[in-house]
Amino acid sequence: MDKLEQRVKELNKLLYDYGYAYYTLDTPLVSDAVYDQYLNELIALEEQHPSLVLPDSPTQRVGASVSEGFQKVTHTTPMLSLSNAFSEEDLLDFDRRIRGMIDETPTYVCELKIDGLAVSLLYEDGILVRGATRGDGTTGEDITTNIKTIRVVPLRLKDNVTLEARGEVYMSKASFQKLNEERAEREEELAANPRNAAAGSLRQLDSKIAASRNLSMFVYGMGDSEVQNIDAHSEALNYFSVQGLPTNKETRVCSSMEEVIAFVQEWTAKRTDLPYEIDGIVIKVDEYAQQEELGFTAKSPRFAIAYKFPAEEVVTTIIGIDLTIGRTGVITPTAILEPAQVAGSTVQRASLHNEDLIREKDIRIGDRVIIRKAGDIIPEVVGVILEERKGTEIPYEMPTNCPACDSELVRIEEEVALRCVNPTCPAQIQEGIYHFASRNAMNIEGLGEKVVEQLFREQLVKDISDLYKLTVDDLVKLERMGLKSATNLVEAIESSKTNSMERVLFGLGIRHIGEKAAKILSETYHHFDALMLANKEELIQIFEIGEKMADSIITYFEQEEAVQLIERLKEVGLALQYTGKIVDAATLENGLFAGKTVVLTGKLTQLTRQEAKEQIEALGGKVAGSVSKKTDLVIAGEEAGSKLEKATSLGIETWDEQKLLDQLAE
Label residue 582 by pLDDT band (50, 70, 90).
low
Domain range for residue 227? 84-304
pTM for the complete prediction?
0.56
Domain boundary among 372, 395, 418: 395
Least confident of 218-227, 243-252, 369-378, 611-620: 369-378
Compute the distance between CA of residue 343 and CA of residue 374 in angstroms, rounded to an integer: 10
Q: 580 in a domain, yes or no?
A: no
Coil, helix or strand at residue 641: coil
Please indicate, yes or no, whether residues 224 and 128 belong to a single structural domain of this protein. yes
Query: Which contacts of 449-458 are long-range, i.e. CB under 8 A and separated by 24 or more positions?
Result: 451/478, 451/481, 451/489, 454/478, 454/479, 454/481, 456/426, 456/429, 456/430
Q: Residue 175: name the closest of 138, 206, 212 by CA.
A: 212
Q: Are strands 163-170 and 117-124 parallel, antiparallel or unpaired?
A: antiparallel
Same domain, 103 and 242: yes
Instruction: Tell me whether residue 603 is one of the annotated catalytic residues.
Output: no
CATH number at residue 516: 1.10.150.20
User: Which is more confidently placed, 55 or 560?
Assistant: 560
Residues 188 and 293 in one domain: yes
Residue finishing a domain among 395, 417, 441:
395
What pLDDT sits at residue 585?
60
Q: Establish if 150 belongs to a structural domain.
A: yes
Q: What are phi and psi of 628, to 5 degrees?
A: -145, 180
Greatest extent of the chain over all pairs of C-alpha atoms, in Å: 88
Number of domains forming the structure of the chain: 5
Whether residue 524 has pLDDT greater than 70:
yes
What residues does 372 pair with on adjacent strands? 313, 380
Q: Classify residue 76: in a domain, yes or no.
A: no
Using CA atoms, how far residue 619 sits from 552, 584, 655, in Å, is 32, 9, 16
Q: How confident is the model at residue 375 (pLDDT cuts 50, 70, 90)?
A: low
Beta strand 633-636 pairing with 139-141:
unpaired
Please name every residue paired with 430 in a beta bridge, in sequence order, or none if there are none. none
**With 70 as the cut, is the pLDDT of residue 502 above it?**
yes
Task: State mean pLDDT over 176-195.
Answer: 79
Residue 63: pLDDT above 90? no
Q: Are residues 444 and 556 in the same domain?
A: yes
What is the number of other CB atoms lying within 10 angstroms of the CB of residue 348?
Answer: 13
* Domain-embedded: residue 414: no
User: Taking the CB of residue 174, how many other CB atoms lie within 10 A of it?
Assistant: 12
Neighbours of 41 (CB within 10 A): 15
CA distance linking residue 197 with residue 175, whole number of Å: 10
Please give the pLDDT value at position 66.
41
Supply the pLDDT for residue 60. Answer: 67
Has residue 68 been placed in a domain? no
Q: How far apart are alpha carbons 619 and 525 in whole angstroms?
A: 20
- List the catalytic residue out of 13, 113, 622, 630: 113
**Number of C-beta neighbours around residue 263 at 10 A:** 21
Nearest one of 184, 175, 173, 71 to 130, comparing CA atoms: 71
Q: 310 with 294: CB under 8 angstroms?
A: no
What residues does 341 pair with on adjacent strands?
A: 346
- With a cut of 60, say whether residue 574 has pLDDT above it: yes
pLDDT tens, residue by residue, 316-327: 999 999 998 888
Residue 317 host element (H or E): strand 313-325
Is 551 in the same domain as 611? no
3 state DSSP class of 655:
strand
Which residue, 326, 334, 539, 349, is CA-closest to 415?
A: 326
Instruction: Report the pLDDT value the prediction gives residue 583, as an integer from 0 to 100.
Output: 61
Strands of 127-133's sheet in order across:
127-133, 117-124, 163-170, 216-225
Tell which wins on pLDDT, 261 or 208: 261
| pLDDT mean across residues, the chain | 86
Helix (H) or strand (E) holding 12: helix 3-19
Nearest of 208, 105, 119 to residue 168 by alpha carbon: 119
Q: Same domain for 520 and 652?
A: no
Q: What CATH number does residue 337 fall under?
A: 2.40.50.140
The CATH number of the domain holding residue 16 is 1.10.287.610
Q: How many CB atoms lie within 10 A of CB 143?
A: 27
Residue at 188: amino acid letter: E
Q: Tell me, what amino acid is at 72?
A: K
Higher pLDDT, 78 or 474: 474
Query: Which is nearest to 616 in space by CA: 638, 637, 633, 636?
Result: 633
Does 562 have pLDDT greater than 60?
yes
Domain end, chosen from 281, 304, 327, is at: 304
Give pLDDT tens digits for 195-226.
888 888 888 877 788 888 889 999 999 988 88
> For residue 592, is it within any domain?
yes
Residue 202, domain CATH: 3.30.470.30
**Spatial distance between the Cα atoms of 428 and 329, rounded to a whole number of angstroms:** 6
Task: Give CA 354 to chain center in angstroms.
Answer: 29
- Shared domain check, 390 and 285: no
Are residues 533 and 648 both part of a single domain?
no
Given a cut of 70, whether residue 458 has pLDDT beyond it is yes
Region 330-354 average pLDDT? 85
In a domain, 521, yes or no: yes
| Structural domain contains residue 384 | yes
Neighbours of 512 (CB within 10 A): 14
The CATH number covering residue 627 comes to: 3.40.50.10190
Better-scored residue on pLDDT, 578 or 16: 578
In angstroms, the Cα distances linking 207 to 21, 71, 125, 135, 151 are: 24, 15, 25, 19, 13
- State whether 296 and 318 are in the same domain: no
Please state the φ and ψ torsions of residue 350, each to the nearest 5 degrees.
-145, 140
- State whether 200 and 102 are in the same domain: yes
Output DSSP code: residue 633. E
pLDDT, mean of residues 379-404: 91
Cα atoms in the Cβ-side hemisphere of radius 13 Å centred on 387:
2
Write the secondary structure of 137-191 as one string of H (helix), E (strand) and C (coil).
CCEEEECHHHHCCCCCCCCECCCCCCEEEEEEEECCHHHHHHHHHHHHHCCCCCC
Q: Are residues 344 and 375 in the same domain?
A: yes
Could you please report the per-residue DSSP string of 490-502?
HHHHHHGGG--HH
Q: Are 437 and 444 in contact (CB under 8 A)?
A: yes
- Domain match, 607 and 538 both: no
The answer on pLDDT for 604 being more than 60 is: yes
d(CA 108, CA 259): 9
Share of the chain above pLDDT 70, in %: 93
Give the residues across from 600 on adjacent strands. 635
d(CA 493, CA 433): 12
